[in-house]
Chains A and B, each alone.
Chain A
Amino acid sequence: MDPMLELRQTFFQECEELLVELESGLMAMDDGSAVEDTVHAVFRAVHSIKGGAGAFALDDLVKFAHIFETTLDEVRTERMEATPDVMSVMLRSTDVLSDLVRAAREGESVDQERSQVLIDELAALSGVSTEPQEPSEDEVNFAPVLLDFDLGDDDDDDNAEADSTDAVNAETDNAEDAEAKKSFIINFRPKPELYANANEASLLLRDLARFGDVDATCDVSQVPDLDGLDPEGAYLAWTINVTTTEDKEALSDVFDFVDGDCDLEIVSGSEDAVIAADDGENAEPNAEANTEAEAETAAGASEENDTEDNAEEDVIPAAEAEEPAIALVEEESEAPSQKSEPTEAVEAAAPAPAAGQKSAEAATGGAKTAGAAPATVRVDLGRVDRLINLVGELVINQAMLAQCAIDAGMARESGVESGLEELKHLTRDIQESVMAIRAQPVRTLFQRMSRIVREAASATGKSVRLVTDGEMTEVDKTVVERLADPLTHMIRNAVDHGLESTEKREATGKSAQGEVHLSAAHRSGRVVIEVTDDGAGINRDRVKQIAIDKQLISEDAVLSDSEIDNLIFLPGFSTVEQVSNLSGRGVGMDVVKRAIQALGGKITISSKPGKGSVFSISLPLTLAILDGMVVEIAGQTLVVPLTAIIETLKPDASDIHTIGSDAQVISIRGDFIPLVDIGSTMKYRKVTADPTKGVVLSVETDAGERCALMVDAIHDQRQVVIKSLEENYGTVPGVAAATILGDGRIALILDVDGIIANTSEAPSYQETPLAAVG
């Protein structure tokens, strides 16, 4: 791939992660759960987005990130307090930033007005102009740094060599167009800091040589006697004649990095100096003049040397003190309960608190990270999926092998059985481990919801707080991704329909701010996600009336509270007379339900009038495996998901009752439940089977509807690997997917809800042709 394109992809991927970090950080700051580093992490996120955006010349993004960063910096440096108002602007800015990132990625245009509004708000907060400031280039002298130098440095040897030759003759550039050349005299006296920061006078001279002819004279007059020589000192100075076509600016650029770390003077020579500079004799007086000029500052220079001496004295105890400090850290970690001794050690280390603290921080910091962030590897998802497929094959193959061994009658011989059992466990372990690779916490998904709540709240004029729980609960990546749409809708719904208006809440003695609670948890091999609101709850009378009006139920239907609540999942049901611009985007709860079902999940609702509603989604941990019951119907092997089955029974003839011409019900402990012969509804056979000769599976649909399915026999109960039927064929009503059995043949996995839905339509479907014929 084109590296730039790849880089761009990396950038947008990283942006996604940074935006999540940004939002979660801001929310933590908002609800008071922020830790010390949070504000810095938040700042870094915006900063990194800005940095990357700059590299790709994404100007809108840079502009917005810049002002955002500037305002965040105010908070970070505690010049501004993170009041709720400030946090609100920050969170909304995050939304805009996220939109800008997406727009940049998709090459779309952005809502300039919206981002301008926030740019203005941010600017108002930070009190800066919205135009990116060019910081002034004023150079300030700074204090020397104390560093625990204890070894001689090669630099000085180099300088000594330069010393002996008296001049560094850099390569000369004999350009022909001498007439355009100007000459400059540069007086350059490095300070010790220049070397301390790993800059090199010789490299600067080398750099200068690129500009033209360089003639450098070294001034060794400041070099002290050997006794007084500080190995870290800077005693040399240079006078450099440069003849170049470049201007003074370019020359001073060379010294950009050492500006302030040296005495520097760049003087324009006369045009004639072109000749003069080449002349050794003429150069001499220049050097002398320079030395004279330097003499004035000689006092200053010696002062400097004094400072250095002092500095060295300061440094020595610091270096010594470092040892006990480190020892202290070790002691602490070994025996944290011994308190008296470490205190002494602290006191002993007191002369050099800085050094001690630093190393202690570094040590503990290292330990912390080792615990908090285990090493990770980024893997292409395609590779993981390939691995998962292969492991799926392995599971099937293992089952086939076991079947072969049984068929060959060798299962009980020579340890084959125990070997196969071992293989089965290993295979299952591998499968679970591989599946875990795809697992991902719902955190990112939940964080997206906070934005949805903000938007829904501002659109409805309600004050809403989103509380999340169990963000680290892991689910298959695909489940997380495909949950985004239904969950978004449910959250909007909770804000829009679930919560009452602020006035109404206050009138009923509730807090003005409504609360939407979003939680995730593992429960008996499944993931349960709940959306809870503290609103008014389902208005059952109204729901029932709407269902009757829309002819979804008959007028005299007697429904339990739970049945009424579940009416909202019916296709064509919408409680809002006037379609609001939020929830009513042509999507009803039936679509949510279907999306959840497509993931192998169930959705249920429970509601308490006046207290609010709970929508509960139960999802499989993975989309790849399913616990199923292997059954036989009309010579075909099929799998019924275990989650749907309540019980299995062998009915007596007396339990079976016929209603009308062919509709049958079965009595289970006094309840009459419709009996469905899968064989005939799926057209595997033409005549309805005799229920007493087979087995009945009592099942429950996601909506809580009960039904009894007739099968010929039950073979087995096992985990099966889900295979797509849609990939090469399409969807079949009543069939959820396919799987491969131990004998290598395909078995279809039944979609219990689909079958029951089919059955309820079936009578009219069968009657029509009769009528038509007649």
Chain B
Amino acid sequence: MTLTILAVDDSRTMRDMLRIALCDAGFDVSLAEDGEHGLEVLSGMAPNVIITDINMPKLDGFGFIEGVRRSDDHRATPILVLTTESGADLKQRARAAGATGWIVKPFDKDKLVDAIRRVAA
């Protein structure tokens, strides 16, 4: 079965990068530009895994994760956080917000796919 991934990042470069890496790995990819947009996109789809950046305008990654976890349809969807920091603080905050796991930027494709496979049911 092809896994469907929703990737949320405000950086066009990062979105392109995720799209290329994920499509290459054989996933179906949907993209969103910020947390708010992410929730919007999410209302019309049921991804197997969600990947999100933290620092984003309008609604940041924490807010987005909270939003996802609040929704009945997606609260059990694994969410991976993209972060440049590997700090314990950030991980803790991400987890407190409801993230399933994280990917430290810059990521390589294998690590990314590995993390997705790890959390995808």
Instruction: Find out whether A and B make contact in their complex, taking CB atoms under 8 A apart as touching.
Output: yes
Chain A residues with CB under 8 Å of chain B are 3, 6-7, 10-11, 13-14, 37, 40-41, 43-44, 47-48, 50-52, 54-55, 57, 134-140, 142-143, 145, 147-151, 153-155, 193, 196-200, 203, 207, 254, 256-257, 260-261, 358, 362, 365-366, 369
Complex contact A149–B75 (CB within 8 A): yes
Complex contact B57–A365 (CB within 8 A): no
Complex contact B55–A369 (CB within 8 A): no
Other A-B pairs beyond A7-B13, A52-B11, A198-B77, 8, CB < 8 Å: A48-B10, A54-B105, A55-B105, A57-B106, A198-B79, A198-B98, A260-B95, A366-B36
DSSP class of A's interface residues: helix, strand, loop or mixed?
A: helix
Complex contact A369–B36 (CB within 8 A): yes
CB distance from B24 to the nearest CB of A (A): 9
CB distance from B75 to the nearest CB of A (A): 7
Contact residue among A136, A137, A199, A362 (Cβ-Cβ distance under 8 Å from B67)? A362
Complex contact A145–B98 (CB within 8 A): yes
Complex contact B121–A200 (CB within 8 A): yes
Contact residue among B17, B55, B67, B119 (Cβ-Cβ distance under 8 Å from A198)? B119
CB distance from A369 to the nearest CB of B (A): 6
Find chain A residues with CB under 8 A from B102 CB: 257
CB-CB nearest in chain A for B94: A197
Count, chain B residues at interface, CB 8 A: 47
Chain B residues with CB under 8 Å of chain A are 10-14, 16-17, 20, 36, 39, 55-59, 66-67, 69-70, 72, 75-79, 84-89, 91-92, 95-102, 105-106, 118-121
Q: List 28 A-B contacts (CB under 8 A).
A: A7-B13, A14-B11, A40-B57, A47-B55, A48-B11, A50-B84, A51-B13, A52-B13, A54-B105, A54-B106, A135-B87, A135-B89, A145-B69, A147-B69, A151-B72, A154-B76, A155-B76, A197-B95, A198-B79, A198-B100, A199-B100, A199-B101, A200-B119, A254-B118, A257-B100, A257-B102, A257-B118, A362-B59
Find chain B residues with CB under 8 A from A37 CB: 57
Find chain A residues with CB under 8 A from B118 CB: 203, 207, 254, 257
Find chain A residues with CB under 8 A from B39 CB: 362
Q: Which 9 A-B pairs have the closest CB atoms?
A: A135-B87, A257-B101, A54-B106, A11-B13, A55-B106, A52-B13, A48-B11, A198-B78, A198-B100
Contact residue among A47, A139, A197, A365 (Cβ-Cβ distance under 8 Å from B99)? A197
CB distance from A329 to the nearest CB of B (A): 16
Contact residue among A44, A134, A198, A358 (Cβ-Cβ distance under 8 Å from B56)? A44
Find chain A residues with CB under 8 A from B70 CB: 147-148
Contact of A362 with B88 at beta-carbon distance under 8 Å, contacts A7-B20, A55-B106, A199-B100 already known: no
Find chain A residues with CB under 8 A from B75 CB: 147, 149, 198
Cα–Cα distance between A337 and B98 once the two chains are bound (Å): 39
Complex contact A52–B92 (CB within 8 A): no
Complex contact A55–B57 (CB within 8 A): no
Cα–Cα distance between A153 and B76 once the two chains are bound (Å): 8
CB distance from A587 to the nearest CB of B (A): 36
Interface centre among A13, A256, A257, A369, by most chain B C-beta atoms within 10 angstroms, is A257
